[in-house]
Amino acid sequence: MIRHLFKLIWNRKRSNFLLITEIFFCFLVLFAVLSLIVYNVRNYNKPLGFKHENVWLLTMRPDTDSTALNRQTLEQILQRTKGFQEIESVSLTNSNAPFAFSQMTTNLTYGQKEIKTDQFEVQDDFAEVMQMQVSKGRWFGPADNGAHHKPIVISKALERQLFEGEDPIGKVLPRNDSSSYQVVGVVDHYRPSSEYTAEEPAFFNRIYLPENEDEFYGEILMRVKPGMGVEFEERMVKALSGIGKGWTMEVATLEKMRQNKEKVSKVPMIALAIICGFLILNVALGLFGVLWYNINRRNSEIGLRRAVGASSSQVYRQFIGEVLVLATFGLVLGVAFAIQFPLLQVFDVESTVYFIALGIAVGMIYLLAVGCAFYPSRQAAAIHPAIALHEE
Amino acid sequence: MITLKNIEKVYQTKTIETVALHNVNLHIPKGEFVSVMGPSGCGKSTLLNIMGLLDEPTNGIVEIDGLPISRYKDKELAHIRNQKLGFVFQSYHLINDLSVLDNVELPLLYRTGVSAAETRRLALTALEKVGLSARTKHYPTQLSGGQRQRVAIARALIGQPEIILADEPTGNLDSVMGEEIMNILLNLNRHDGTSIVMVTHDENMAMKTERLIRFFDGQQVSDAKTSAYDYQKV
Ligand SMILES: Nc1ncnc2c1ncn2[C@@H]1O[C@H](COP(=O)(O)OP(=O)(O)OP(=O)(O)O)[C@@H](O)[C@H]1O
Ligand SMILES: [Mg+2]
């Protein structure tokens, strides 16, 4: 019977061509959107590498251009923050704090390898503020004062790409003509951009104020005791504004920043899903309409099949089966096309993402097809054979 | 083979009630070739549909091989149609998207336990019987009316039914082609012993069968052996 259905669909390929193309395109769009969603969801389920709860970000803008003066004030402010018993630990950072809309990349070379990587400038207490897990070596600290090489901590992702199995601890990497980095530790993960972003290679560069005299850092990350709210924030900002007179200060919780970032990541996904939904609805209506129309056109065939021994449920199954075969034709084309993405590695995305999306898309198309065929097929099965065979 | 007892068929529409058959009693024995005649609208097709289990009578009993089928479910009725009955229609009812061979094979697709190879072999034999061995790969639209009807007959006989119900099989054909079709049916009846009930408007055709039943306004008005019957028995 299945062979019979394939033959029937094949012989009707000209009139089924439109439906098959429609299913083909519907599948491709579904596949694309699902790939994106699967990609995001998989990222979402991966560890961030840090704990953002109870971490605040203080952003400061000085009112003068004098770096020397600003540095003096900054150090006083930093000192003052450590004085609050509500604050557990603090670290200066560049503008690329977690969930911020800012990125800083550089290239690191080791032997013949050159890897593009995110760079984060932070202080010794950063590991404590963000509760990072150091899996190899150690975080940088006072022991590195006066070290010949600048100490860095790298992420596992960078370790994998740059060292490919070699032990990274102690390795010296060129920084510029006059100085170099030395790897002192490795952290498991660091994925600060957003929960939906894939992990990029990253390393942490030590801010040691006595040695970075001409630098200004405008952001302080601080871990506060649980339960701290607006009351403490106001008190703190007031106290700090007393030191940095005329400075603009802004406090944001990382949780708030995370939510902002989430919105920005979700909006295109939701928009795409809605567009995709409309497309599917459109295809569904088309499919439904054509099936409905076909049944009326195929009255004589239905009657004839009943006469030669098909039961009503066999007619029903035939019509459902035909739609499944039709969908299969469209899907074979679609899958042949979609499979190129993981095979050719068109984007730098794990193959698994594509395969999951492919599986779901195939399942959804079949469900869609059966869903659309359900009612028309029931109508077909309900047609009375004597009436269907009635001669005009 | 088929027995109708007190068959009544009433079509009920919103506005009118049509009595298509009234008090029809009929027995078709095995191996008989019966023709049914009557003016248009007198209920001939309705009669054939009821005999063919495609329609249910409003009242009365249909017996196939002595068994009343009134309580049978759709699936069982389909099974009997598939096993014991063959149909030939005025407008052929071939599936245009299937080749001649595939059209002929159709009844066996609904029969369990027949292999594809066996089905193919039986279809070729059936086509040979109707003289269409050379046209197996054609599609219905590529055939003449007479050829199409021969395909339809091949399809009706592939399942080796006990009875073939033919509703004006020559109605759309000219007299030469009608003659050919008639000869095929006669052969089938004589050599294979298949019972045939044929509705026709053609007196000459009817005279070639053994028995002629005339209908008027949903009722049998006459039922008699023809001269062909005597001729045959000689
Ligand atoms: N589905 C139906 N609904 C209502 N009335 C019907 C239906 N089918 C047939 N009839 C009526 O029943 C009567 C018998 O119809 P039937 O088709 O059996 O006639 P027929 O003898 O085959 O005529 P013809 O020689 O023109 O084919 C007609 O009056 C017809 O209008
Ligand atoms: Mg009729």
- Residues B23, B219: contact at Cβ < 8 Å? yes
Q: Render each residue's pLDDT in chain B as its tens digit; 234 residues.
A: 899 999 999 999 889 999 999 999 999 999 999 999 999 999 999 999 999 999 999 999 999 988 899 889 999 999 999 999 999 999 999 999 999 999 999 999 999 999 999 999 999 999 999 999 999 999 999 999 999 999 999 999 999 999 999 999 999 999 999 999 999 999 999 999 999 999 999 999 999 999 999 999 999 999 999 877 665 544
Number of domains in chain A: 2
Touching check for A299 and chain B: CB below 8 Å?
A: no
- A10 and A128 belong to one structural domain: no
Residue B229 pLDDT: 66
Residue A152 lies inside a defined structural domain of this protein:
yes
Q: Which tokens belong to A1? A: 């019977």
- A229 and A84 belong to one structural domain: yes
CB contact under 8 A, A8 and B79: no
Q: Which tokens belong to A227? A: 């339960």
- A178 and A305 belong to one structural domain: no
Closest CA to A30 of A363, A369, A289, A348: A363
Q: Give the domain extent around A307.
A: 2-45+262-391
Atom of ligand 1 nearest to the CA of B13: 4
CA B25 to ligand 2 center in whole angstroms: 19
Touching check for B10 and chain A: CB below 8 Å?
A: no
Touching check for A384 and chain B: CB below 8 Å?
A: yes
* Protein residue closest via CA to atom 16 of ligand 1: B43
Residue B234 pLDDT: 41
CA A144 to ligand 2 center in whole angstroms: 104
Place of tokens 């000192």: A79
* Chain A residues closer than 8 Å to B55 by CB: 384-386
Alpha helices in A45-171 (DSSP H): 67-83, 126-129, 156-163
Q: Which tokens belong to A374? A: 């359900």
- A292 and A361 belong to one structural domain: yes
Closest CA to B32 of B198, B210, B159, B167: B210
CB contact under 8 A, A386 and B55: yes
Residue A75 lies inside a defined structural domain of this protein:
yes
Nearest-angstrom CA–CA distance, A273 and A200: 26
Residue A391 pLDDT: 64
Atom of ligand 1 nearest to the CA of B48: 18
Interface residue of B11, B58, B81 to substitute, partner A, most A CBs within 10 Å = B81
Q: Render each residue's pLDDT in chain A as its tens digit; 392 residues.
A: 888 998 888 888 888 888 889 899 999 999 999 999 999 999 999 999 999 999 999 999 998 888 888 999 999 999 999 999 999 999 999 999 999 999 999 999 998 889 999 999 999 999 999 999 999 999 999 999 988 999 999 999 999 999 988 999 999 999 877 889 999 999 999 999 999 999 999 999 999 998 877 888 999 999 999 999 999 999 999 999 999 888 999 999 999 999 999 999 889 889 999 999 998 998 899 889 888 888 888 999 999 999 999 999 999 999 999 999 999 999 999 999 999 998 888 888 889 999 999 999 999 999 999 999 999 999 999 999 999 998 65
Place of tokens 């609904």: B110
Residue B233 pLDDT: 46
* Cα dihedral A269, A270, A272, A278 in deg (nearest 10): 160
Touching check for A9 and chain B: CB below 8 Å?
A: no
Q: Which tokens belong to A224? A: 């506060």
* Chain A residues closer than 8 Å to B11 by CB: none
Nearest-angstrom CA–CA distance, A300 and A296: 9
Atom of ligand 1 nearest to the CA of B47: 18
- A116 and A197 belong to one structural domain: yes
Q: Which ligand is nearest to the CA of A384?
A: 1
CB contact under 8 A, B110 and A309: yes
Other CB atoms within 10 Å distance of the CB of residue A138 = 15
- Chain A 303-332, residues with CB within 8 Å of chain B CB atoms: 303-314
Alpha helices in chain A (DSSP H): 2-11, 13-44, 67-83, 126-129, 156-163, 230-243, 254-297, 299-307, 312-338, 340-344, 351-382, 385-388
Atom of ligand 1 nearest to the CA of B218: 14
Q: List, chain by chain if needed, residues with CB within 6 Å of any ligand 1 atom.
A: A 387; B 11, 13, 18, 20, 38, 40-46
Which amino acid appears at position A249 of this protein? M
- Residues A354, A338: contact at Cβ < 8 Å? yes
Residue A345 pLDDT: 84
CA A387 to ligand 2 center in whole angstroms: 12
* Protein residue closest via CA to atom 12 of ligand 1: B20
Residue A50 lies inside a defined structural domain of this protein:
no
Closest CA to A32 of A353, A267, A345: A353
CA B44 to ligand 1 center in whole angstroms: 8
State the nearest Cα–Cα gap between B44 and chain A, in angstroms.
12
Interface residue of B40, B44, B54 to substitute, partner A, most A CBs within 10 Å = B54
Coil vs helix vs strand at A86:
coil
* Chain A residues closer than 8 Å to B21 by CB: none
- Chain A 10-39, residues with CB within 8 Å of chain B CB atoms: 11-12
Q: Are strands B195-199 and B211-216 parallel, antiparallel or unpaired?
A: unpaired
The tens digit of pLDDT for each residue in B179-218 reads 999 999 999 999 999 999 999 999 999 999 999 999 999 9
Residue B87 pLDDT: 97
Which of A260, A276, A297 is where one domain is finished? A260
- A174 and A253 belong to one structural domain: yes
Please enumerate, as own/partner, the contacts of A224-231 that have beta carbons within 8 Å and a separation of 24 or more: A224/A54, A224/A55, A224/A56, A224/A86, A224/A87, A224/A88, A225/A54, A225/A86, A225/A87, A225/A88, A226/A54, A228/A54, A228/A86
* Protein residue closest via CA to atom 17 of ligand 1: B45
- Residues B145, B173: contact at Cβ < 8 Å? yes
- A148 and A121 belong to one structural domain: yes
Residue A76 lies inside a defined structural domain of this protein:
yes
Residue B232 pLDDT: 55
Alpha helices in A248-350 (DSSP H): 254-297, 299-307, 312-338, 340-344
- A252 and A281 belong to one structural domain: no
- Residues with a beta carbon under 5 angstroms from ion ligand 2: B 45
Residue A208 lies inside a defined structural domain of this protein:
yes
Residue A71 lies inside a defined structural domain of this protein:
yes
Which of A235, A260, A285 is where one domain is finished? A260
- A327 and A209 belong to one structural domain: no
Which of A214, A243, A260 is where one domain is finished? A260
- Pocket mutation for ligand 1, best pick of B11, B91, B217 (most atoms within 8 Å of C-beta): B11
Size of interface A-B (CB pairs under 8 A): 81
- A250 and A152 belong to one structural domain: yes
Residue A114 lies inside a defined structural domain of this protein:
yes
Residue B230 pLDDT: 60
Q: Yes or no: is domain B28-56+73-233 CATH 3.40.50.300?
A: yes
From the list B45, B75, B81, the residue facing A307 with the nearest CB is B81
CA B199 to ligand 2 center in whole angstroms: 8
Touching check for A8 and chain B: CB below 8 Å?
A: yes
CB contact under 8 A, B75 and A311: yes
